Structure 1
Amino acid sequence: MDSLITAAARALAAGDPLGALKRVALRDDAPALALRGIAMAQLGDFPRAKALLKSAARAFGPREAVARARCVVADAEIALVSRDLGWPEKALETARAVLEAHGDRVNAAHARNLQVRRLVLIGRLDEAEQALDGFDPMPLPPASRAANALIVAGIAVRRLQTKTARAQLALAREAAREAGIPALTAEVDGAFLALSKPAARLIARGEERALLLEEVAALLASGALVIDACRHVVRAGDRLASLSTRPVLFALARTLAEAWPGDASRSALLARAFRARHADESHRARLRVEIGRLRAELRDVAEVSATARGFVLVPRHAREVAVLAPPVEGQHGAVLALLADGEAWASSALAIALGASPRTVQRALDALCAAGKVQPIGRGRARRWMTPPVPGFPTVLLLPGPLPSD
């Protein structure tokens, strides 16, 4: 590796893409193309970055397997940052195996981090934890340790383990400062800031207020009967009834909980569960059937008793009843929640993360765009969707080491 390539690689590792480009911008050999691709990615020009990395991967010879594997890792990170979740997982796993076999533990660890970040992003937390099980980040450089701590913190946040999340973010902040990369420090600070923002809404006894993540964890640990509209479950302490595949039953349970300690009228239940404006005998008959099914689902945590004007929820063990609702609700609220991270998402990535069909997601995006709540960027297959921009820090591409061959 010549001196210019070495200097450019060090500049990229330190988060200085302009310094790297000054050294390799006019070169078109394979290592220079790879470094130019990384630099363009750090500057946010993802299409140009992907093209340069693909050119570099083709230009590397058959004996330069490590260099090609590093190109695959960099390309996968660009896809992740640009919220294109359709990239081939097997290619990244193969690249990671090549890097481990050749002793490039830093970039192999980075590939592992990318795999886990994708799993976390699409909600597959158990698989993410299994991938990290037994992995020790301490021998890695500071930037890699910070990235690993951010991932662990992200899992902890989704598990409502706030103490673990804050401890991991503290480790990430220390590692980021040691690395001396301003963009990485900004990303850690942004993660800390997210913990101070409302994570959900509490609806109880006719009142509504925002909850921080710690307050959500405290509510779930309090033993109260919680109708969790974030996960579509009903829980009381360790007892849990999942209604994630029973939207009508969950709508009934939520209406009953919002009316507690009073009862919910039959008209209110019909309007919420069946969207019936003018109830007839068939609607009332169906309501009786669904209430019977709800009683069976909630038998371990609550009873549903009939009253003169409707039905009332009676907890079996809890003293309080509360509804835990997402910060953003309404039609297409799940799409807006994903776009709230400030990144530009591909519609296919949104479909993967939501477990919905691409056509369903596209209809939601078109409706939100017409309402001015989201905006498209680019055209055709390069089109991405995001919420109107606000001040903040985007996720940045951070390679833990030089990309080209040694």
Structure 2
Amino acid sequence: MDSLITAAARALAAGDPLGALDRVALRDDASALALRGIAMAQLGDLVRARALVKSAARAFGPKEAVARARCVVAEAEIALASRDLGWPVKALDTARVTLEAHGDRVNAAHARYLQIRRLLLIGRLDEAEALLAALDPAPLPPVLRAAHELVVAGIAIRRLQSQSAHNALARARHAAELAAIPALTAEVENAALILDTPAARLIAHGEERPLLLDEVEALLSSTSLVVDACRYSVRGAGMSVSLVTRPVLFTLARMMAETWPGGVSREALIAGAFRLKLTDESHRARLRVEIGRLRAALKPLAGVMATPRGFALVPLVSADVVVLAPPVDEKFAAVFAFLADGESWSSSALALALGASQRTVQRTLEALAAAGRVQAFGRGRARRWMTPPIPGFATTLLLPAPLPSD
């Protein structure tokens, strides 16, 4: 490996993409193309970066299996950064096996972390934890130790384990300091902001207030009966009843919880749950049927009592009833939860992460764009969506790749 390639690789490892480009910008050999691709990724031009890395993979000869595998890993990281979640995972796993077989354990671990980060993005936490448990971060360089702890923190945040998330972020911050890469430090600080940002709203006794993640965790561990509008369930006394597949029952439970200890009129319940006006006895009959189903579903957590004008929720194992709601308009809360990372998402990637059809996601994004709440860039298959930039929030940057000579 010549001195310019080595110097460019070291510049990239130190988080200096411009310094790397100064050395290889005019070269078209395979190693230079790979380094230029990584540099462009760090600078944010992910489309150009991906094209350069693909060119590098083709330029390496058939006997250069390790170099080609590293290009596959780099392309996977670029795909992850551009939220192309449909990128072929088998290719990344094949590259990881090749790297392990040739003793490149650092880049093999990097490939594994990319797989785990993709699983985390699409909400497959159990699979992400299983892969993470097989990795020992101790012998890895600080960059990958920071990546490990960021994944640990991400899983803990999704599982509402605030103390575990705090501890993991503290370890990630220490590893980032050892790496001395500004982009990595910014990514850790950006992740830490989540713990200081409202994660939900508490609605009780006609009032509402924002809750941080640790407050949400404390609420779900309390003695209150919690109607959880984030996960469409009712929780209390260590028990949980899921109403994800029964939206009418959940709407009735939430409406009664928001007015507890008072009740809700039949007219309001029919309008909220059925989106109808009370006009004849058939609507009352339908409401009675759904209330009966709700009573059966909530046992033994709560009951439903008839009042002169409607119905009221009666907690059986708790002294208080509250509603836990998303921090934003819950109709679009899941979309905003993904766009909040500051990255640009394709509608297909959002559909994969949300478990919804791509057309449904496209209609939602178009409605939000018309209201000025999201922004679109590009056209056709290259179209990406993101929330407007918020001053004071760090941009998540691509982590630099290990040196090709390592």
Task: Determine the structure 2 residue equivalent to 1:147.
Answer: 147
In structure 2, C-alpha distance between the alignment counterparts of 1:226 and 1:189, rounded to whole Å: 32
In structure 2, C-alpha distance between the alignment counterparts of 1:204 and 1:51, rounded to whole Å: 53
Task: Determine the structure 1 residue equivalent to 2:285.
Answer: 285
1:87 counterpart SS class? coil
Give, in angstroms, the shift of residue 330 of structure 1. 4.4
Which sits farther off after the overlay, 298-307 or 48-57? 298-307
Task: Determine the structure 2 residue equivalent to 1:124.
Answer: 124
Task: Determine the structure 2 residue equivalent to 1:322.
Answer: 322
Task: Determine the structure 1 residue equivalent to 2:402.
Answer: 401
In structure 1, C-alpha distance between the alignment counterparts of 2:204 and 2:195, rounded to whole Å: 23
Give, in angstroms, the shift of residue 222 of structure 1. 0.6
Task: Determine the structure 2 residue equivalent to 1:390.
Answer: 390
Which sits farther off after the overlay, 307-316 or 274-283? 274-283
Residue-by-residue CA offset, 1:309-361 (whole Å, 9 max, x unaligned): 11111111111111000001243332223212221110001101111000000
Gaps of 5+ in 2: none
In structure 1, C-alpha distance between the alignment counterparts of 2:135 and 2:375, rounded to whole Å: 40
Identify which of structures 1 and 2 has the higher relative contact order when contacts are C-alpha pairs closer than 8 Å and 6+ apart: 1
- Indicate if the aligned counterparts of 2:278 and 2:284 stay in contact, CA closer than 8 A: no
Matched AA of 2:294: L
For residues 193-232 of structure 1, what are the structure 2 equivalents within 5 Å? Answer: 193-232=193-232
Which sits farther off after the overlay, 295-304 or 44-53? 295-304
- Indicate if the aligned counterparts of 1:270 and 1:279 stay in contact, CA closer than 8 A: no
Gaps of 5+ in 1: none
For residues 372-391 of structure 1, what are the structure 2 equivalents within 5 Å? Answer: 372-391=372-391
Task: Determine the structure 1 residue equivalent to 2:102.
Answer: 102
Matched AA of 1:36: R
Q: CA RMSD in A?
A: 1.2
- Indicate if the aligned counterparts of 1:106 and 1:400 stay in contact, CA closer than 8 A: no
In structure 2, C-alpha distance between the alignment counterparts of 1:6 and 1:120, rounded to whole Å: 34
In structure 1, C-alpha distance between the alignment counterparts of 2:117 and 2:237, rounded to whole Å: 30
Give, in angstroms, the shift of residue 223 of structure 1. 2.2
In structure 2, C-alpha distance between the alignment counterparts of 1:66 and 1:291, rounded to whole Å: 63
In structure 2, C-alpha distance between the alignment counterparts of 1:223 and 1:82, rounded to whole Å: 43
TM-score by length of 1: 0.97
In structure 2, C-alpha distance between the alignment counterparts of 1:242 and 1:189, rounded to whole Å: 35
2:334 counterpart SS class? helix
Residue-by-residue CA offset, 1:215-272 (whole Å, 9 max, x unaligned): 1011001121111111111111321100111111111110111111111111121121
1:271 counterpart SS class? helix
Give, in angstroms, the shift of residue 182 of structure 1. 0.6
Give, in angstroms, the shift of residue 400 of structure 1. 4.1
- Change beyond 3 A, Cα 1:400–1:141: farther
Matched AA of 2:224: A
1:185 counterpart SS class? helix
TM-score by length of 2: 0.97
Task: Determine the structure 1 residue equivalent to 2:273.
Answer: 273
Matched AA of 2:400: L
In structure 2, C-alpha distance between the alignment counterparts of 1:337 and 1:320, rounded to whole Å: 29
In structure 1, C-alpha distance between the alignment counterparts of 2:129 and 2:259, rounded to whole Å: 39
**Equivalent residues, number:** 405
Task: Determine the structure 2 residue equivalent to 1:87.
Answer: 87
Matched AA of 1:393: A
Matched AA of 1:22: D
- Indicate if the aligned counterparts of 1:110 and 1:399 stay in contact, CA closer than 8 A: no
In structure 1, C-alpha distance between the alignment counterparts of 2:162 and 2:254, rounded to whole Å: 26
Matched AA of 2:220: L
**Structure 1 residue 156 corresponds to structure 2 residue 141:** no
Residue-by-residue CA offset, 1:274-308 (whole Å, 9 max, x unaligned): 11134432221111111111111111211112111
Which sits farther off after the overlay, 93-102 or 349-358? 93-102
In structure 2, C-alpha distance between the alignment counterparts of 1:279 and 1:16, rounded to whole Å: 69
Task: Determine the structure 2 residue equivalent to 1:54.
Answer: 54
In structure 2, C-alpha distance between the alignment counterparts of 1:360 and 1:301, rounded to whole Å: 35
Matched AA of 2:107: N
